[in-house]
């Protein structure tokens, strides 16, 4: 089934790593080229965007789209992993009002700096940080700039449990956001349950469980669950080319256009030929599929 190409919107359950999901789908669909557009922690649930076949070549563009989450913030307790699964490092009494929490959240909207957690997949001198963390090692990490587009207090259950809505850029650690908000309040804090509501333009309401994908594959209906890459990138402008121009695209040649920025280059019959970058009147293919 290597001819499969497109996007599967998976509803990840708790207890699976993102790698586990990819491995299960690779075996189920008999695919070599398969990947995801952003890791979810093992106990986190929600949208996991899976790229199939040649769609893996566009993963970085889907990953660049902002993600949304619903997260629990537990104040008064800090953990080694910055979430509820980790060893408790400290605990303190919490006595704050919703207004104080709102004031603290306001400081984390917009462009902020985060230090990646030790329990993360970030590389350090050839090893992932979580591998070092499990060896009891802590190393210095460079802060990274991320963008918090929206950060809203959904509910606050006194004394210490808040539910947050977060819309953020690629590379944002919600665990670290919760830890930092707790530090700002002086109480400490960690992340409880986490649900990814959307990623890459895909939403939880339209996601499929692994069981549903397996049932569709057994019934020969897997194509009905796969979103074509062109549709997944439908928020990009479309550059329609003639049959004569298809050959130019296949060889990586540029085309004249009035469009600017990233575009999807399509044939008259709707086939996605390439992804292009347009600048100064010329569109050059950056990912060719034809």
Structure tokens at 143: 């802060």
Q: Could you give the residue numbers annotated as active site?
A: 41
Q: How deeply is 76 buried, as exposed, middle or buried, from its count of CB atoms within 10 A (0-12, 13-18, 19+)?
A: buried
Contacts of 258 (CB under 8 A, 6+ apart): 281
Token look-up 């329609």 returns 240
């Amino acid at each position: 089934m290597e001819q499969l190409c497109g996007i599967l919107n998976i509803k990840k359950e708790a207890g699976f790593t993102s790698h586990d999901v990819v491995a299960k789908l690779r075996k189920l669909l008999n695919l070599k080229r398969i990947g995801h557009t952003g890791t979810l922690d093992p106990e986190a649930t929600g949208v996991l965007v899976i790229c199939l076949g040649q769609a893996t070549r566009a993963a970085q563009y889907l990953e660049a789209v902002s993600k949304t989450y619903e997260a629990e913030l537990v104040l008064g307790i800090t953990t080694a992993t910055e979430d509820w699964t980790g060893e408790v490092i400290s605990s303190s009494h919490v006595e704050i009002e919703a207004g104080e929490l709102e004031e603290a959240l306001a400081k984390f909207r917009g462009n902020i700096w985060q230090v990646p957690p030790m329990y993360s997949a970030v590389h350090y001198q050839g090893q992932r940080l979580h591998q070092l963390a499990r060896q009891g090692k802590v190393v210095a990490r460079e802060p990274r700039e991320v963008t918090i587009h929206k950060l809203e207090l959904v509910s606050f259950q006194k004394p210490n449990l808040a539910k947050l809505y977060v819309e953020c850029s690629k590379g944002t650690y919600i665990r670290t956001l919760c830890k930092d908000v707790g530090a700002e309040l002086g109480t400490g804090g960690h992340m409880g349950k986490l649900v990814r509501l959307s990623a890459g333009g895909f939403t939880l309401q339209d996601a499929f469980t692994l069981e549903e994908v397996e049932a569709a594959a057994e019934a020969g209906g897997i194509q009905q669950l796969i979103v074509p890459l062109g549709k997944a990138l439908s928020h990009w402008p479309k550059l329609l080319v003639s049959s004569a121009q298809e050959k130019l695209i296949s060889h990586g040649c540029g085309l004249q256009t009035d469009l600017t920025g990233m575009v999807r280059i399509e044939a008259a019959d709707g086939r996605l030929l390439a992804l292009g970058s347009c600048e100064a009147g010329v569109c050059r293919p950056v990912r060719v599929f034809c």
